[in-house]
Amino acid sequence: MIHINVSLPDQVAQRYYDASEKLANYIGDPAPDAQTLMRCILAEFSADDVARHFDLALRNVTGAPMPDEAEVYVFGHEPLNAS
């Protein structure tokens, strides 16, 4: 088994903590904690899914065209120069 540590923004982590609390209220104890919910969500992604998510995130940050919108840029009309 591989263990990784990932730093999440507080707002993202809070969603998992909120979901865990709602589950605890709904099903009672023992309810899955926030970390278990994160593991379950990550476990259902295939390698292609993970690559697709990172590709879209990088395109969004750099302003590169989205796959379905070849001429539409997220941040302006020109992609950022990588050099």
Global pTM? 0.53
- pLDDT, residue 21, reads 92
pLDDT at position 43 is 83
Structure confidence at residue 71 (pLDDT)? 56
| In the chain, domain spans | 8-44, 46-83
* Local mean pLDDT, 10-residue blocks, the chain (83 residues): 79 90 88 88 84 82 72 51 51
Confidence (pLDDT) at 69: 60
Q: Is 51 exposed, middle or buried (0-12, 13-18, 19+ CB in 10 A)?
A: exposed
